[in-house]
């Protein structure tokens, strides 16, 4: 890592060199000087540093050699991603690319990549409708793949898109891929085997896709992600969550159900035993179901819950006392109400007993203590 002052020095060097070049109107001199020198690098003008002379791609996009960044954000690079030779030219010219940003470039089709050490590939905000089979096979170190905000349809997204190299113990795994973002596409269903090549998948987002319903195929696809930790299903027009969706992904900790059409707390949540964060914001939940004693209504009353922080345990609710509220403001009111009610009740009780909390030693009615007990447990959860 370069420290700030050194960086500044480099920057000044480049400026001086650039000024010199301008004065002499001798561009070849600049390139030569820069190559011979200390490889000047800075984030603002790197397209003019020697690397641009070395690779065609760095002329149209930004290459940051010491960070292994290849960034084409907001550059119009055509409808199809670069051919193999172009990608390879980056490597042969000494840029070991690790992070690739092809964001807002107008891309429509993604073709195969050659072997590269890319760990992060951002293809978001394009018009991508097709991805070639085995497109990422050669990106064996890929950890994060963002294809959100594109035009992917369910039909064009099949498992082979994510196929990796042959392996003896797993089925052609893209074995390092942890994060897959598919939000804001035209998906309404998932191929049941869509994630079969992604054994390490931990974080999946499908937000803003017009699913309307998680059909059986999609359920199989999601339920088969064994190592799933975080799932974003917000704004998908969902009216229900399949009951056994979270039965297999036992490690699910973050679940975002914001902005759906859920009218009750999904019973499926009772299987999400490791859940630590849940959002049910912007759902028309009007009453908390008590009938099925599986629904974790303790957390359901809250619109957005940090379950871990509050050490809440999922358990069956009492018959009464489930407050139909999913609205943030109402919830706050409820919370304040409960918090106020406790000292108030205590005060009234004190006055009634003419003494505080058994100081005068008269027998406490069991009903009162029971009522107090349930109130305080509720209080602890907040």
Residues near ligand NAG (CB under 6 A) are 44-45, 48, 84, 91, 96, 112, 114-117, 134, 137-138, 207, 232, 234-235, 256, 258, 279
* CA dihedral sign, ordered 101, 105, 109, 113: negative
Instruction: In whole angstroms, give the CA distance from residue 174 to residue 361.
Output: 70
- Least Å distance, CB 28 to ligand NAG, is 16
Query: Which token pair is 47?
Result: 């397209």
In the beta sheet, which residues pair with residue 255?
231, 278
Residue (91 or 248) nearer to ligand NAG, CB = 91
H helix runs in 75-177, sequence order: 84-92
Identify the H or E element spanning 377: helix 366-380
- Least Å distance, CB 162 to ligand NAG, is 12
- Least Å distance, CB 354 to ligand NAG, is 51
Q: How far is Cα of residue 336 from the mean position of the Cα atoms in its chain?
A: 32
* CA dihedral sign, ordered 343, 347, 348, 352: positive
Residue (277 or 349) nearer to ligand NAG, CB = 277
Residue (132 or 323) nearer to ligand NAG, CB = 132
- Least Å distance, CB 114 to ligand NAG, is 4
Tell me which residue of 192, 184, 238 sits closest to 211, measured CA to CA: 238
Residue (245 or 255) nearer to ligand NAG, CB = 255
- Least Å distance, CB 336 to ligand NAG, is 25
- Least Å distance, CB 230 to ligand NAG, is 7
Residue (81 or 258) nearer to ligand NAG, CB = 258
Half-sphere exposure of 82 (CA within 13 A, CB side): 24
DSSP 290: -
- Least Å distance, CB 307 to ligand NAG, is 13
The total of other beta-carbon atoms located within 10 Å of residue 83's CB is: 12
Instruction: In whole angstroms, give the CA distance from residue 126 to residue 107.
Output: 5
The total of other beta-carbon atoms located within 10 Å of residue 195's CB is: 23
Tell me which residue of 324, 318, 332 sits closest to 378, measured CA to CA: 318
Residue (59 or 96) nearer to ligand NAG, CB = 96
Q: Cβ(111)–Cβ(83) under 8 Å?
A: yes
- Least Å distance, CB 3 to ligand NAG, is 20
């Amino acid at each position: 890592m370069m420290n700030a002052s050194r960086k500044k020095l480099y920057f000044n060097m480049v400026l001086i060199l650039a000024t010199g070049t301008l004065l002499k109107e001798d561009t070849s001199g600049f390139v030569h000087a820069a190559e011979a020198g200390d490889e000047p690098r800075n984030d603002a003008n790197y397209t003019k540093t020697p690397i641009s002379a070395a690779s065609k791609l760095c002329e149209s996009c930004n290459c940051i050699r010491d960070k292994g960044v290849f960034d084409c954000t907001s550059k119009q690079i055509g409808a199809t991603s670069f051919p193999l030779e172009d990608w390879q030219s980056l490597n042969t010219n000494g840029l070991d690319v690790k992070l690739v940003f092809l964001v807002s470039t107008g891309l429509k089709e993604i073709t195969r990549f050659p072997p590269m050490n890319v760990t992060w590939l951002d293809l978001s905000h394009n018009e991508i409708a097709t991805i070639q089979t085995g497109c990422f096979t050669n990106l064996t170190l890929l950890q994060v793949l963002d294809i959100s905000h594109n035009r992917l349809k369910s039909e064009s997204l099949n498992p082979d898109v994510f196929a990796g190299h042959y392996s003896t113990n797993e089925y052609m795994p893209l074995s390092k891929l942890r994060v897959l973002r598919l939000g804001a596409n035209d998906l309404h269903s998932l191929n049941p085997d869509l994630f079969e090549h992604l054994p390490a998948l931990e974080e999946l987002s499908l937000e803003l896709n017009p699913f309307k319903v998680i059909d059986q195929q999609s359920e199989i696809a999601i339920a088969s992600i064994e190592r799933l930790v975080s799932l974003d299903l917000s704004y998908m027009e969902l009216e229900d969550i399949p009951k056994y969706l979270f039965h297999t992904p036992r490690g699910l900790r973050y679940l975002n159900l914001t902005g759906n059409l859920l009218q009750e707390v999904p019973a499926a949540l009772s299987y999400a035993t490791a859940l630590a964060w849940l959002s049910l914001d912007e759902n028309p939940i009007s009453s908390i179901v008590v009938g099925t004693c599986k629904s974790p209504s303790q957390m359901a009353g809250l619109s957005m819950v940090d379950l871990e922080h509050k050490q809440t345990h999922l358990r069956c609710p009492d018959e009464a006392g489930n407050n139909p509220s999913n609205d943030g403001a109402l919830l706050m009111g409820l919370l304040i109400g409960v918090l106020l009610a406790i000292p108030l009740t205590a005060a009234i009780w004190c006055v009634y007993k003419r003494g505080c909390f058994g100081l005068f030693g008269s027998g406490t009615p069991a009903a009162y203590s029971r009522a107090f007990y349930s109130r305080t447990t509720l209080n602890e959860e907040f």
